[in-house]
Amino acid sequence: GVQTCALPILIRKPKDYTVGMILRLTEGSLAPVGCLEYGENDCPRQEMCATLKLWKMLDESIKSVVDKVTLEDLLEWQEEVGSDYVI
């Protein structure tokens, strides 16, 4: 038989979904390094890690963007550019 690909149906309105929610569902953690993936950093070398501050800043920056932008925002931005691209 012929198989069809079912498109996902949104239960909530586009304004209620953030890009961060969707990325975490499809990609998993968005942390730039493994030691920041699960909240509590239990790396025994963190006290000596010269780059940990950088990774934490990057992690917070990523979260501040993807957790603020919604599907509704993306739809509005798509209308502004007017192309046929599908989200």
Is the pLDDT score of 86 beyond 90? no
Is the pLDDT score of 45 beyond 80? yes
Question: pLDDT at position 76, please?
Answer: 92
Residues 79 and 70: beta-carbon distance below 8 Å = no
End-to-end CA distance of the chain: 29
Of all residues in the chain, what percent carry a pLDDT higher than 90?
Answer: 66
Is the pLDDT score of 4 beyond 70? no
Task: Please give the structure tokens belonging to residue 38.
Answer: 């699960």
Q: Which residues contact 19 (CB under 8 A, 6 or more apart)?
A: 65, 66, 67, 69, 70, 71, 74
Is the pLDDT score of 32 beyond 90? yes
Q: Kindly tell me the burial class for residue 14, based on how many C-beta atoms sit within 10 Å of its own C-beta (0-12, 13-18, 19 or more).
A: middle
